[in-house]
Structure 1
Amino acid sequence: MVKIVTDSVSDLPKEYIEKYNINVIPLKIIFGEEMYKDRVDITPEKVLERIEKNNEFPKTSQITPFEFVEVFDDLTKDGDEVLAILMSSKMSGTYNSALIAKNELSDRNIEVVDSKAITLGYGLIVIEAAKMAKEGKSLDEIKKRAEEMVDKMEYLMVVDSLEYAYKGGRISKTQYVLSNFLNIKPIVTLKDGEMVVKNKVRGRKKVLRWIIEYLESNNINLDDKVIGINHVNDIEYLEKLKSMLVEKFNPKEIVISDVGCTVAVYSGLSAIALYFERED
């Protein structure tokens, strides 16, 4: 049997983790001398609350090779196989840690896939892999499908404010002040494992319209597809996006989650995103 492993940045809803028996290894959130496991010892809400109240900006820490060895060893000791689908290797050393662990256990059947992504977008890849594993598909079949999805996934992520990106040192103060002044909402996507700005829209309402218009103008058909949407601290914004998607399209399944601690550290107090697999 194939066991599916991922990291906490995939932001999978708890019900999917339990339904498909997905093994999730948490990254760490570090406030000074205090270290917490993402979604285990601390919630995204607590992280955001601590940043806002105490102006503390945490660091994040990757999963170590030793942690992967422990998990992989436990899952394969009775002859089972493992497929690990992990966050972008360009954003974290987690993927490389898993490769080291795979080499340490070279006598086991372990495969590692670089999702080239963050958050629920590659969470959809993990869910698809777990569904296939439950159906009894082979390791090679599941890995091939996962790698196909890596190349076809599209990510539309909207950040309401660049405050946390500024606090985390990812943009300059000038960029932050200017975007606030102009009420600019960056729409971010992923390209070759790195985040890039796809467009900039003024105002929250225009963002939702832009997403629908983008899908329609590019002839993107979401009918009868599994799509994902998630949010940071803004369920109302997410519900508006969901309603618009359901009105215009007929998705087979909508996977909904909140963004975990690791990504929320940089996305800020309000963000939403849409993820789907392109047909081409």
Structure 2
Amino acid sequence: MVKIITDSVSDIPKEYIDMYDIKVLPLKVIFGDEVYRDGIDIDTKTMFDRLKTTNEYPTTSQVTPAEFEQEFSEVVNSGNEVICITMSSALSGTYNSALIASREFDANKIRVIDSKAITLGYGMIVIEAAKMASNGIGIDDIESRVRDLVNNMEYLIIFDTLEYIYKGGRISKSQYMMSNLLNIKVIMTMKDGQVVAREKVRGRKKAIKYIIDYIEKNESTLDGRVIGMNHANDKSYLEELKEAVLSKYIPSETIYSEVGCTVAAYSGLSAVALYYEKTKK
């Protein structure tokens, strides 16, 4: 049997983790000398509550080769195989940690795949792999499907504020202040494993409208397809996006989750996102 392993940045809902027996290894969230396991010792609300009362900005730490090796060993020694799907190698050393660990085992038993993404978009890839594994599909077919999805997932992420991008040192103070003044919302996507801006609009309503317009322009429909939506500590914003999408389309399955601490430290409060497999042209 094939066992699916991933990291906590995939932001997979707990019910799917339990349903498909997915193993999730946590990244670390670090405040000074305090180290927390993402999703285990700290959640997004707790992290943001702490950020409101301190100027100390958290850093994050990748999953180590030793942690991956321990999990790989348990699976392989039980007579099973591994598909390991990690967050983007362009944003973390987690993929390389898994790759290093995999070299201690038969290459046919362990396949390590770079999702080239973050959060639930690649979490959906992990879920698809786990569904296939639960149906007894072999490692080669699962790997082929996963690599196809890596190249064909759509990521439409609305950053409601650039505050945490500024605090993380990724934009200048003037850029941050101007975005606040103009009520700028940035629609982000994934490109070559990096989070990049796709469009900038003014206000939430225009940001959500941009996403609906984008779907209408680039997809025939989302009817009958699996889609994902998640939020960063703002369920009401998720409800706005959900209403806009589901009033037009009837997906076969909609997967909802909350952004974990690792991604939330980058996105800030009130980010929301939509994910789906693109129509092949």
> Partner residue of 2:227?
227
1:112-140 Cα distance to aligned partner (Å, 9 max, x none)? 01000000000000000000000000000
> Partner residue of 2:74?
74
Are the aligned partners of 1:98 and 1:112 in contact in 2 as well (CA < 8 Å)?
yes
Are the aligned partners of 1:30 and 1:36 in contact in 2 as well (CA < 8 Å)?
yes
For residue 108 of structure 1, report the CA deviation from its aligned partner. Answer: 6.5
For residue 56 of structure 1, report the CA deviation from its aligned partner. Answer: 2.0
CA distance in 2, matches of 1:265, 1:137: 37
CA distance in 2, matches of 1:251, 1:21: 24
> SS at 1:91's partner residue?
coil
For residue 182 of structure 1, report the CA deviation from its aligned partner. Answer: 0.8
What one-letter code is carried by the residue in structure 1 that aligns with 2:273?
A: A
> SS at 1:104's partner residue?
coil
Are the aligned partners of 1:7 and 1:24 in contact in 2 as well (CA < 8 Å)?
yes
For residue 246 of structure 1, report the CA deviation from its aligned partner. Answer: 1.1
CA distance in 1, matches of 2:220, 2:89: 28
CA distance in 1, matches of 2:119, 2:158: 13
The reply on whether 1:144 has 2:154 as its aligned counterpart is no
What one-letter code is carried by the residue in structure 2 that aligns with 1:78?
A: S
- Note the aligned Cα RMSD (angstroms): 0.9
> Partner residue of 1:5?
5
Say if 1:272 and 1:184 are closer, same or farther in 2 by CA, change over 3 A. Answer: same
> Partner residue of 1:265?
265
> Partner residue of 1:216?
216
What one-letter code is carried by the residue in structure 2 that aligns with 1:66?
A: A
Q: Which runs of 5+ in 1 are unaligned?
A: none
CA distance in 1, matches of 2:269, 2:212: 23
CA distance in 2, matches of 1:271, 1:73: 37
Are the aligned partners of 1:27 and 1:62 in contact in 2 as well (CA < 8 Å)?
yes
What one-letter code is carried by the residue in structure 2 that aligns with 1:117?
A: A
What one-letter code is carried by the residue in structure 2 that aligns with 1:126?
A: V
CA distance in 1, matches of 2:219, 2:154: 14
CA distance in 2, matches of 1:108, 1:69: 16
For residue 85 of structure 1, report the CA deviation from its aligned partner. Answer: 0.6
> SS at 1:54's partner residue?
coil
For residue 209 of structure 1, report the CA deviation from its aligned partner. Answer: 1.1
Are the aligned partners of 1:152 and 1:277 in contact in 2 as well (CA < 8 Å)?
yes
1:125-160 Cα distance to aligned partner (Å, 9 max, x none)? 000000000000000000000000000001000111
1:13-61 Cα distance to aligned partner (Å, 9 max, x none)? 0000000000000000000000000001111111111111122210000
- Bigger mean CA deviation after superposition, 6-15 or 214-223: 214-223
> SS at 1:158's partner residue?
strand
CA distance in 2, matches of 1:217, 1:103: 44
CA distance in 1, matches of 2:224, 2:261: 31
What TM-score do you get using the length of structure 2 for normalisation? Answer: 0.98
CA distance in 1, matches of 2:108, 2:40: 28
